[in-house]
Amino acid sequence: MNVSNILNSRTTRKTANTAGVLLMAFLMLVMAGCISSSRSYTADKNIVYNGSIYNMSNVKAITANVTGELPNGDVKNMKGMDKKAVQALLGESSPVMVTTALDLDGQEMVYERRSISKYSDFSKMMSRFESAGKKVTKFMANKKSTQLKL
């Protein structure tokens, strides 16, 4: 065997070994991508609010409730009331104790309870409640997040 044949066979083996290592590295990266993209997240989802923890893992339906308790003790459903209806209610009996809450499959999470005497107070209260509802919706849609602090 002459010197040029020995050098060519060593170069060919080095190239083959390098190509093999690169191919293995590429296949490992492809496999890692496939494995990480098929992960399932099974951790419990929790909402923390006012010192209470609400487990959301098995909750099927979340509904919003807005009620107003009049000074005489009557309770009115204020969900969906427009400005005129709220002003009329406040005109006949003021102040009204308004409660905004989320119903989590029968478990009530009271978000805010406040006595109001004018429409602007009610409007601000509803804005805060709608913002919290959007946060809860976004939290429930995100598979990776496990805790929401309201």
Q: What is the pLDDT of residue 106?
A: 87
Alpha helices in the chain (DSSP H): 3-37, 83-92, 119-141
- Please answer whether residues 150 and 56 qualify as being in contact, where contact means their C-beta atoms are separated by less than 8 angstroms: no
pLDDT for residue 94: 86
- At residue 52, the pLDDT reads 87
* pLDDT of 100: 96
Segments of the chain with pLDDT less than 50: none
Q: What are 75-118's pLDDT values in tens digits?
A: 999 999 999 999 999 998 889 999 999 999 888 999 999 999 99
